[in-house]
Amino acid sequence: MISTRGRYALRVMIDLAEHYSDGYIPMKIIAERQGISLKYLEQILPSLTKNGMIEGMQRKGGGYKLTAGPDEYRVGDILRVTEGNLAPVACLGCDAKMCERAGNCKTLPMWKEFYKMTNDYFDGITLSDLMK
């Protein structure tokens, strides 16, 4: 399940994409347009900044902007930054230890295929696609 953190991050990124040519957008403006509290944005924006998806400027005329064009951002990348791994089961997570039952697990191939489908689906959608 995608949390509000991931959903709100997508809304913020779409907002910045729609205003890509406007330069830096103050966090307060993004919060107002998206109906997201400033406090919650303060939790989401640092992970997007740390991962190079957006950049911030702290001074008059400052705010946040995308570091690349809207067509260069895949939804899957944004969700992985904000949600972590999109694995449907713990044993497929990034830091998961190999399960002792993996060799005999009848459901593992199904989970692997579902995981692949999920990633392929989200990686096939860009911010530009969502702006349409």
For residue 28, give the 3-state DSSP assignment. helix
With beta carbons less than 8 A apart as the criterion, state whether 4 and 22 touch. Answer: no
Tokens for 67, please give them.
């570091």
Alpha helices in 20-131, H assignment, sequence order:
27-34, 38-50, 75-83, 108-123, 127-131
Give the contacts of 72 (CB within 8 A, at least 6 positions apart).
126
Q: What is the pLDDT of residue 42?
A: 93
Q: What is the pLDDT of residue 102?
A: 76
pLDDT digits (tens, 9 = 90+) for 3-61: 999 999 999 999 999 999 999 999 999 999 999 999 999 999 999 999 999 999 988 88
pLDDT at 63 exceeding the cut of 80: yes
List, in sequence order, every residue forming a beta bridge with 126; answer none if it has no partner. 74
Q: What is the DSSP letter of 51?
A: T
pLDDT at 99 exceeding the cut of 80: no
With beta carbons less than 8 A apart as the criterion, state whether 2 and 8 touch. Answer: no
Whole-prediction pTM: 0.90
The alpha carbon of 90 is separated from its chain's Cα centroid by a whole number of angstroms, namely 20
pLDDT at 89 exceeding the cut of 90: no
Cα separations in angstroms, 22 against 25, 56, 61, 106: 7, 14, 11, 53
